[in-house]
Amino acid sequence: MDDLDRRVLSVVQEHFPIDERPYLQIARQIGSTQGEVLDRMKSLLERGIIRDISPVFDLQKLGYRSTLAALSVPRERVEAVAAIVNAREEVTHNYLRAGELNMWFTVIAESEAALERALADIEREAGCGPVSNFPAQRKFTARVVFEFGD
């Protein structure tokens, strides 16, 4: 990455403009051109430095419900159960951890009833015993800003 890549990333991560021509606004902020910013963004995506650009919504304010859930999955069934969990459109993340409950995933649904149905469906389809449901008791917000210096 060079200095221009770092300047583009700094603006994109913290101050992405809500504008008809956001890349033109970014270019103006960093002293570049819209075409150069678009080329850099494309290159950053192609190189895997960034995965996507997307908004962050407060899902609860939009009426959605979410939870952290876990299963105890036998080692020999991890791939098959992961495929079942990952096939659900309500699942946003799925990862393995050490311990009895070794497959952890987050579920987001449009209502509490839809959330419960999704968990019940996963439990039934996975056939690994009960899904443990860990709804948030309190919300904490972590702010992460990467420094793109030398």
Q: For the segment 2-33, what is each residue's pLDDT rounded down to a tens digit?
A: 999 999 999 998 889 999 999 999 999 999 99
Give domain status of residue 11, yes or no: yes
**Same domain membership, residue 121 and residue 81:** yes
Report whether pLDDT(137) > 60: yes
What confidence score (pLDDT) does residue 107 get? 97
Residue 106 maps to which CATH number?
3.30.70.3460
- Residue bearing the bigger pLDDT, 145 or 117: 117
Distance of alpha carbon 48 from alpha carbon 23, whole angstroms: 19
State whether 26 and 82 are in the same domain: no
Whether residue 150 is predicted with pLDDT greater than 70 in this model: the reply is: no
pLDDT digits (tens, 9 = 90+) for 71-94: 999 999 999 999 999 999 999 999
Quick check: is 86 in a domain?
yes
Give the model's pLDDT for residue 8. Answer: 94
Edge-to-edge strands of the sheet including 132-134?
91-96, 103-109, 65-71, 132-134
Do 73 and 40 share a structural domain? Answer: no
Residues 69 and 39 in one domain: no
Mind listing the pLDDT tens digit for each residue in 31-60?
999 999 999 999 999 999 998 888 888 888
Q: Which pLDDT value is given to residue 54? A: 84
Domain match, 79 and 130 both = yes
pLDDT at 58: 84
pTM of the predicted structure, to 2 decimals = 0.71
Domain shared by 69 and 124, yes or no:
yes
**Domain interval for residue 38:** 3-46
Considering its fold, how many domains does the chain have in total? 2
Burial state string for 24-36 with b = 16 or more CB within 10 A and e = fewer than 16? bbbbeebebeeee
Establish if 140 belongs to a structural domain: no
Looking at the structure, tell me whether residues 29 and 82 fall in a common domain: no
C-alpha–C-alpha distance, residues 85 and 66, integer Å: 15
